[in-house]
Amino acid sequence: MKFENTTYLLLLWLVPCIGAFYVYAYRKRKKLLSHFAHPGLLQKLMDPISSKKRFLKSLLIMLAFASFIIALAKPQWGYYYEEVIQRGADIIILLDTSDSMLAQDVPPNRITWAKRKVEDLLKLLEGDRIGLIAFSGGSFVFAPLTVDYETFRMLLDSVDTDVIPLEGTKIAEALETAIKSFDNKKGNSKVIILITDGEDYSENLDDMIAHAKKENITIHGIGIGKQEGSPIPIPDIGLKKDKEDKLVISKLNESSIKKIARETGGLYIPSSAADVDIKTIYYKAIKKMDTNEHASSKEKRIHDRFPLFIFFGILFLITEFFISEKKHARKTLAVFIPLFFMIFFSEPYSWAHLKNKVDAGNMLYESKKYKEALETYLNAQIDYPKNEALKNNIGNTYYRLNDYENALQSYTDLLGSLNKKVQEKAYYNAGNTLFKLQRFQEALDYYKRALELNPQDEEARYNFELTKKALEEMKKQNKEDQKNDQKNQDEQNKNEKNNDNQNKSQNSQDKKENSENKNEKQNKENDTKKEKNNEDQKQENSESQEKKQPSDMKDQQQADMMNQKPRDGKIPKEQAEIILNNIKEERKKLQQRWMQKKFGNKKAEVENDW
């Protein structure tokens, strides 16, 4: 057994003091009674009083007092293992270490001022991993992503303007090194914080910005220095001068830092004397991002046993209260003691039991097992329906599950709480839920009420302004939508009128086309008739031509013979035979044509019949 607060054990010396006081009181009382009456008469008068019960009551009071003192010391014994999950964002610091960071427009100089900002960030981190990259003309990883903040702080102290020998300032190269330093894990928890005076001689800065956007990396910027600028003191040399021997004045160039932050969805904040700049970036941007699980381990824990001693202390006091000093009071004690044990042993650790259930739900919630956490919370709420912490946890779990209606119902149940902190948190959470539901006007009212309860709530104020802008944009969008709807309606009406006109013109056109089609049909019929007549005419011409010209001459000699002129008015015998043969052939052809006209394609029974 060990005690967490051993100083409370010093109070145990009061227990024997109370015992001594009771012994003294008992003897003093007995002495006074002996003066009051004779011992025999006194025994008859005090017969109902039991000295043993009186002693028992005193003993119970001393035991109860001792139990409460031991409970205050928080006794611990017995071990158990608890799984601890480290969650948070991945943050890489890009720290400018060029010569311009030696300018003294912020005391003592820019590089020291920038390192203080990183130390302010370390105080805010809760499980987030942090890395450090120094850059000037080149870049170097001083500390990879780690949760060992003490080692990181030691490495940060060693950073100065002489750690990188290359002169100049190349932000693009530093961004490339930072992007490569992240784990190849998907998620929205990758952050780069660029701390610089803004001087840049990079050539491919736009490409690196596009690369960061592709990797889903957010870049926040903190500008170090002042716009009026300051000369640059170089150790052992003096003030820095250019090639023309003119004094170099380094000024804060906010445009490049703003561009990087704006295009990657980050924030740009000029450096301030307090830690407002780094707090704004952490609480308004980094803290609201989805976190990644870095590592999980089982840690050895010791059981707290103080609830057991509190229970026994209360038990001793109640038992003492129900014990009577009279001898014949056993029945009363017998009735109250079982009742007491029924009350306590039915739920001996009722509040501890609730705490265990809530802790179990919280572990599931931190592990992003929201469905199991919700089931645990709802089971606990059955036994403790009025517990405000349970209602808040149930609302948060519904919110994580994107069940905004049920989340809003859980938060609104807490608006009537007598605790102002609980009430203010309920208004704030309900405002966040209404914002997700795009009920911006109601969200504004809830944020306003939360600010009235706690005017120092910067998150509520920030969300109030953000919701106000969203509401204005929504109103503008609604107006534009109405204008577009009106334009579309006007165009639709014009189109309907044009369609009507087109239909009318189409009908007239159809009538014209019908009449034209009829004319075309008539012309086609006429053309076909003409073509048939032409074909018949051609056929007749060909027949007549066939009659005029010999068609079956055997050779060129016969043609020559036909062309010979008769001698002495007489036709040669050979020429006469040719003529007769031609006449026979012509007669056959005429006979065949006549047979075709009369009988069609059928052949005549007697082909030589004329």
| 8 Å CB contact between 167 and 136 | yes
Residue 522 or residue 554, greater confidence: 522
| 8 Å CB contact between 303 and 79 | yes
d(CA 476, CA 440): 14
Average pLDDT, the chain: 77
Residue located via tokens 């007669």: 587
Give the residues across from 193 on adjacent strands: 93, 220
d(CA 576, CA 597): 32
pLDDT above 70 as % of the chain: 72
What's the mean pLDDT in 549-565? 48
- For residue 506, the one-letter residue type is Q
Biggest distance spanned by C-alpha atoms of the chain: 214
Q: Considering only CA atoms, give the Rg of the chain.
A: 55
Q: Which of 238-247, 328-337, 579-588 has the lowest mean pLDDT?
A: 328-337
pLDDT band (50, 70, 90) for residue 608: very low
- Mean pLDDT: which of 10-14, 400-404, 512-516, 572-576 is highest? 400-404
Encode pLDDT of 81-117 as tens digits.
Answer: 666 667 788 999 999 999 899 999 898 899 999 999 9
pLDDT > 50? residue 607: no
Q: What is the pLDDT of residue 610?
A: 34
Q: Which of 75-89, 102-116, 303-317, 418-432 has the lowest mean pLDDT?
A: 75-89
Question: Regarding beta strands 238-239 and 233-234, do their DSSP bridges make them parallel or antiparallel, or are they unpaired?
Answer: antiparallel
d(CA 433, CA 454): 19
Q: What is the full DSSP assignment across 184-227?
A: S--SS-EEEEEEE------S-HHHHHHHHHHTTEEEEEEE-S-T
pLDDT > 50? residue 596: yes
DSSP-derived secondary structure letter, 385: T
Residue 40 or residue 25, greater confidence: 25
Sequence-ordered alpha helix ranges (H) in 347-419: 350-366, 370-383, 388-400, 404-412
Which three-class secondary structure state does DSSP give residue 373? helix
pLDDT band (50, 70, 90) for residue 479: confident
Q: Would you call the peptide bond into 75 cis, given omega within 30 degrees of 0 as the criterion? A: no
Question: Regarding beta strands 2-3 and 139-146, do their DSSP bridges make them parallel or antiparallel, or are they unpaired?
Answer: unpaired
Task: Phi first, then psi: give them for residue 568, nearest 5 degrees.
Answer: 55, 35
Q: What is the pLDDT of residue 603?
A: 44
Residue 285 or residue 584, greater confidence: 285
Please choose, from the candidates 223, 161, 171, 231, the residue with its C-alpha nearest in 3D space to the C-alpha of residue 197: 223
Q: What is the pLDDT of residue 547?
A: 41
Q: How many residues comprise the chain?
A: 610
DSSP-derived secondary structure letter, 604: P
Give the residues across from 83 on adjacent strands: 298
pTM of the model: 0.44
Residue 567 or residue 175, greater confidence: 175
Encode pLDDT of 287-308 as tens digits.
Answer: 888 776 666 556 667 778 888 8
Q: What is the pLDDT of residue 509?
A: 61
pLDDT band (50, 70, 90) for residue 604: very low
E-only strand ranges, 60-164: 75-88, 90-96, 129-135, 139-146
The Cβ of residue 609 has, within 10 Å, a number of other Cβ atoms equal to 8
Alpha carbons within 13 A on the beta-carbon side of 427: 24
DSSP-derived secondary structure letter, 140: E
d(CA 521, CA 515): 10
- Quote the tokens at residue 175: 């961004």
Q: What is the pLDDT of residue 246?
A: 86
Distance of CA 523 to the CA centre of its chain: 76
| 8 Å CB contact between 604 and 595 | yes
What's the mean pLDDT in 328-345? 51
Encode pLDDT of 359-369 as tens digits.
Answer: 778 888 887 88
Residue 138 or residue 602, greater confidence: 138
What's the mean pLDDT in 27-52? 71
pLDDT band (50, 70, 90) for residue 546: very low
- Mean pLDDT: which of 72-81, 259-268, 576-585 is highest? 259-268
Q: What is the pLDDT of residue 244?
A: 83
Encode pLDDT of 200-249 as tens digits.
Answer: 888 888 999 999 999 899 999 999 999 888 898 888 788 888 888 888 89
Question: Regarding beta strands 190-196 and 217-223, do their DSSP bridges make them parallel or antiparallel, or are they unpaired?
Answer: parallel
d(CA 98, CA 169): 6
Per DSSP, the chain holds a count of helices (H) and strands (E) of: 20, 13
Q: In what order do the strands lie in the sheet with 139-146?
A: 139-146, 129-135, 90-96, 190-196, 217-223, 268-270
pLDDT band (50, 70, 90) for residue 505: low
Please choose, from the candidates 340, 313, 306, 331, the residue with its C-alpha nearest in 3D space to the C-alpha of residue 60: 313
pLDDT > 60? residue 447: yes
What's the mean pLDDT in 460-487? 82
Stretch (H or E) spanning 80? strand 75-88
Q: Which of 338-342, 374-378, 387-391, 476-480 has the lowest mean pLDDT?
A: 338-342
The Cβ of residue 444 has, within 10 Å, a number of other Cβ atoms equal to 20
pLDDT > 50? residue 348: no
Please choose, from the candidates 581, 579, 577, 602, the residue with its C-alpha nearest in 3D space to the C-alpha of residue 592: 602
pLDDT > 90? residue 559: no
Buried b / exposed e along 1-11 (16+ C-beta atoms within 10 A)? eeeeeeebeee
pLDDT > 60? residue 537: no
Please choose, from the candidates 2, 8, 1, the residue with its C-alpha nearest in 3D space to the C-alpha of residue 69: 8
